[in-house]
Chains A and B, each alone.
Chain A
Amino acid sequence: MTSSPDELAALLGKIAAKDRAAFAALYRATSAKLYGVIARILVHGDASEALQEAYVKIWQRAGDYDAARGSPLAWMATIARNRALDEARKRRPLSLEDMPEGFEPAGESEDPLASRERSEAYAALLRCLERLEPDKRAMVLAAYYRGASREALAARYNAPVGTVKTWLRRSLADLRDCLSS
């Protein structure tokens, strides 16, 4: 289910004033997206717990949403991702192979560049991702979509953890420079 950013922003405004009906509408409009994000990082039971916590946080913080800092969905998804990542890091480290099923990071099996509908920001980010070496791009995407830790990436790419850290930071710096150029 999708709603326009304006509609979602209006709902967040009402939620900031503790409007429960608006909160229910927001949940209907966004929970599949947020659960999609979380469930690729955490296994089943943990994912539904993290989703609950994410929405409680959204309820509490709706008044802090600032349209200048991105779309409502991006703001909510960031809350959900951070919640899922905190939880994932507390658990036994997962290898990429152990991670929840159902999604291969774009760039491995899917071609993120083939996506039909995309915002300008997404298109710009993809152009910059495309400039990274394939392995480095796959690492960034596995981290973002699957919550892969440095350790998991090190095991997958058969490289020391320190090297993975260096690769990640360099790749991210390259991305930033590309995006600002």
Chain B
Amino acid sequence: MSLHPDDEGLAAEYALGTLDAEERAAVAARRLREPELDAAIAAWEQRLAPLIEAAPELAPPPGLFARIEARLGGEVVELATLRARAARWRAAAVGAGALAAALAFVLATRPTPPHQFVAVLQKSPDAPAFVMTVDIDRLEFSVRPVAAQAPADKSYELWIIAPNAAPKSLGVIDAATGERPLTEDKGIVREATYAVTVEPKGGSPDGKPSGAPVFFGKLAPVGR
């Protein structure tokens, strides 16, 4: 075992569950950057997993599945997952090519501090896809289409929907735009729902979404 003995113990306790909140969060963040630690945790999870067999079943409250389904809105992938998938996508077949290339670009060219989110906004494999990055600390975001071509006389528009608030436009999505500022506070940026709609060329004329979103979803925090 090439891992430092302290880290081996830390990995074991992480899998067992006895670390306190701070230690858990620190380990969760480290495992994203340290493949050896990640592998040690996975090995411990695997060693202990047979105990699941002895855990008695308990029926969950009724109605829960509908609530889960309502939360599936769109595909918002955590960064950790994204890294693993980007590698796979790079090698993957046609169709995923553009997406993989965009992700490889995003991941290769940007450092990923803890408050950075990268999300693929896509409802299903054949639906339009967008890559969105959000930097919570700097309150900036960027979004660009990947494998998403708006019809000639239409534009894609991005919306932020704060809890219990009306959708607010974050602008039209086009390939040329870079980082843009967010005016909402950090809590709202983190909690809000993001949606993409198809609008007349140049964006919604009245500041309201004209139709149902082609995508909606929430940010998934990195590392927790």
A residues with a Cβ closer than 8 A to B are 1, 17-18, 20, 23-24, 27, 31-37, 39-41, 48, 51-52, 55-56, 59-61, 63-64, 69-71, 73-74, 77-78, 81, 85-86, 89-90, 102-103, 106, 110, 112, 115, 117-119, 121-122, 124-125, 140-141, 143-145, 147-151, 153, 165, 168-169, 172-173, 175-176, 179
Neighbouring B residues of A110 by C-beta, 8 Å: 54
Contact of A172 among B12, B124, B224 (CB under 8 A): B12
The 8 closest A-B pairs by CB, nearest first: A74-B49, A122-B50, A32-B57, A89-B21, A35-B60, A172-B12, A36-B58, A169-B9
Judging by beta carbons under 8 Å apart, are A55 and B48 in contact?
no
Bound together, the chains give a CA A13 to CA B60 distance in angstroms of 24
Min distance, Cβ B3 to any Cβ of chain A, angstroms: 12
Min distance, Cβ A78 to any Cβ of chain B, angstroms: 5
Q: Number of contacts between A and B (CB, 8 Å)?
A: 161
Bound together, the chains give a CA A93 to CA B61 distance in angstroms of 25
Judging by beta carbons under 8 Å apart, are A119 and B50 in contact?
yes
Judging by beta carbons under 8 Å apart, are B16 and A172 in contact?
yes
- CB of B53 closer than 8 Å to a CB of A: yes
Judging by beta carbons under 8 Å apart, are A61 and B71 in contact?
no
Q: Mark B5-37, 1 if CB is under 8 A from A, else 0.
A: 000110011001111110010001000000000
Judging by beta carbons under 8 Å apart, are B124 and A18 in contact?
yes
Question: What are 7 contact pairs spanning A and B, CB under 8 A?
Answer: A52-B67, A85-B17, A106-B51, A125-B48, A144-B16, A168-B12, A176-B12
Bound together, the chains give a CA A112 to CA B16 distance in angstroms of 18
Judging by beta carbons under 8 Å apart, are B58 and A39 in contact?
yes
Neighbouring B residues of A69 by C-beta, 8 Å: 42, 46
Known: A74-B46, A145-B55. A56 touches B71 (CB 8 A): yes
Min distance, Cβ B16 to any Cβ of chain A, angstroms: 5
Judging by beta carbons under 8 Å apart, are A33 and B57 in contact?
yes
- Which of B74-82, B138-146, B154-162, B189-197 faces chain A? B74-82
Chain B, interface SS category: helix
Q: Of residues 34 to 70 in B, which have CB atoms within 8 Å of A's CB atoms?
A: 42, 44-61, 64-65, 67-69
Known: A20-B69, A56-B71, A89-B20. A176 touches B49 (CB 8 A): no
- CB of B72 closer than 8 Å to a CB of A: yes
Judging by beta carbons under 8 Å apart, are B68 and A55 in contact?
yes
- CB of B220 closer than 8 Å to a CB of A: yes
Neighbouring A residues of B28 by C-beta, 8 Å: 86
Chain A, interface SS category: helix
- CB of B90 closer than 8 Å to a CB of A: no
Contact of B18 among A24, A34, A77, A143 (CB under 8 A): A143
Neighbouring A residues of B94 by C-beta, 8 Å: none
Min distance, Cβ A173 to any Cβ of chain B, angstroms: 7
Bound together, the chains give a CA A150 to CA B6 distance in angstroms of 16
Known: A27-B65, A143-B16. A90 touches B21 (CB 8 A): yes
- CB of B125 closer than 8 Å to a CB of A: yes
Q: Which residue of A is nearest B45, CB measured?
A: A78
Bound together, the chains give a CA A73 to CA B36 distance in angstroms of 24
Neighbouring B residues of A151 by C-beta, 8 Å: 20
Neighbouring A residues of B48 by C-beta, 8 Å: 125, 144
Known: A32-B57, A33-B57, A70-B46. A52 touches B18 (CB 8 A): no
